Structure 1
Amino acid sequence: MLLRGLRGALGWALSCRLPGPGWSRGAGGALRLQEAGEGRAVYSPLVQTARCYARPAKKKQQALLSHLDDIPPTMLKKDYANVPIIDKVDDVVKRLLSLEMASQRERVKIKMQQLADKVRRSPSDRGSCEVQTAVLTAKIQTYQEHLHMHPKDKRNRRVMLMAIDQRKKLLKYLRRTRYDIFERTCKVLGIEYMLPPPYCRRMTRRWVAKKAFCLKVFNEVQKRKAPERLKQRREWQAKARAAKEQALQSEGTPV
């Protein structure tokens, strides 16, 4: 409906007046420029714009390097890597059992295992903070590549943000308890850890009045407790002085 209205208005505007010599009206009332000797018509830019305005140009998506590219496609799947007769099978069977024909989920599992092997403390380590961080790192990189191709996928974006928050908690715990392991894990996995921002509270009139009242009450309590604290301090000093005099007398040294 909009296209019909645009074409009608354009035809009425072009029927009122021709731009100048050398122009003629073609089929449908469109203006075209007669070029001598070539036998072809060049339509005006306005007509070309009106014809192609509803065809948006598609943006070419740049190819993104995947974090799974370092996995060789000839590598066998985990279930078939240690089979003794795998070397005797046909090449077609090997290709079917390799990662070339595997799904992305299986390749991501291989990537998780590779990253976990780099940071694990011992061969039997399967649940330490470093291993969990490596697994979450592989998942986060997979979600980032998916969202680069499908930016409107809100469900996967939410899952990715939850994984990032969980990894931040693990790195925060490692940084507080084992700083050497924390540095090694960030270096091996290529993670740039940023400190959380300091707590900042918005100041309101109610909050300012409440804080002033609390400070006033605290100062008043300190004033009331001052005589009692002074009395206790003098008693402690007198006891310390008496104990020192008694120790000197026991040694036989005059005070």
Structure 2
Amino acid sequence: MLSNITLRTILLRSSVVALRESAAAPPRTGCSAVGPPAPVRHYARLSKTKEAGPESQLADLPSTSLKMDYAAVPLAQTTDDVVKRLLSLELASHSEKLALKKEQLIAKVQRDEGDRNSVEVRVAILTARIRNFQEHLLKHHKVSRENSHMRRRKGFLSDLERIDAFPSCCLLGITYTFPPEYYRRATRRWLAKKAFCLKVFKEVQKQKAEQKLKLQPHQSAEAAQAPTASR
């Protein structure tokens, strides 16, 4: 008797649990209501395309040209193709390409063939180093951005501006940007004071102009009487 009661209670509990699970589960879609759940398809995400950065300063160097150390050697011009490829920029390191780029920039601004220490040449060398450092920062964002070449070139450019030789550095692609008009923070009090000072300045200029207009007839009369008095 007790075994029958226990079996009934177990069956009732299992049926209640099954009904609760069927009510809580979402409705299945498909032809057959009975069966395993449909597999979930995980589609691959689209690959993010990297933004193309600015063109490198070494991109205009032809790969067929010889390295700087072998360009003046006549024997390097008569060798076979394999040796020329080994001596060309195609298999050159980054430092060798950068040295050749420095020589190209120096040739644009140097005063004569033996000029290696003028201000223009120093600016050309620092320009090549600065552009190389900027390209390195685009690839490696965690590198420290402190660079002494920027401060040194800024001092040389100010020297060139004093001696009126700044246009020669425009061949290097350097552009001069004017500094901002005000360095301080524009607060409400400072803006109100600036507006008041401008208003006072305009009033003073207006009073001076009125005084000049009043003095003009007296000056013309004195100028007309001066030649008669001299006669």
Structure 2 gap segments, 5+ residues each: 1-20, 186-231
What's the CA shift string for 1:194-238, capped at 9, x where partnerless?
244568578xxxxxxxxxxxxxxxxxxxxxxxxxxxxxxxxxxxx
**Higher RCO (CA < 8 A, seq sep 6+):** 2
1:83 alignment partner in structure 2:
73
Structure 1 residues 106, 77: closer, same or farther in 2, change over 3 A?
same
The structural deviation recorded for 1:148 is: 1.5
Q: CA RMSD in A?
A: 3.2
Q: 1:147 aligns with which of 107, 121, 137?
A: 137
2:92 alignment partner in structure 1:
102
Structure 1 residues 70, 199: closer, same or farther in 2, change over 3 A?
same
Q: Determine which structure has more spread, i.e. the larger CA radius of gyration.
A: 2
1:158 alignment partner in structure 2:
146
In structure 1, distance between residues paired with 2:34 and 2:152: 70
Q: How does 1:182-201 map to 2 (within 5 A)?
A: 182-185=166-169, 187-197=170-180
Structure 1 residues 57, 129: closer, same or farther in 2, change over 3 A?
same
Structure 1 residues 62, 25: closer, same or farther in 2, change over 3 A?
farther
Name the SS of the counterpart of 2:99 in structure 1: helix
What's the CA shift string for 1:26-81, capped at 9, x where partnerless?
5xxxx63xxxxxxxx5x38xxx59xx8xx896552425421111111111112212
What's the CA shift string for 1:128-163, capped at 9, x where partnerless?
111111111111111122222222222xx323xx21
What's the CA shift string for 1:78-107, capped at 9, x where partnerless?
221222322332210111011111101110
Structure 1 residues 163, 89: closer, same or farther in 2, change over 3 A?
same
Q: How does 1:96-245 map to 2 (within 5 A)?
A: 96-154=86-144, 157-159=145-147, 162-175=148-161, 177-179=162-164, 181-185=165-169, 187-197=170-180
Residue 168 of structure 2 aligns with an amino acid whose one-letter code is: R
The structural deviation recorded for 1:21 is: 3.8
Name the % identity: 42
In structure 1, distance between residues paired with 2:86 and 2:24: 70
Structure 1 gap segments, 5+ residues each: 1-12, 33-40, 203-255
Q: TM-score, normalised by structure 1?
A: 0.55
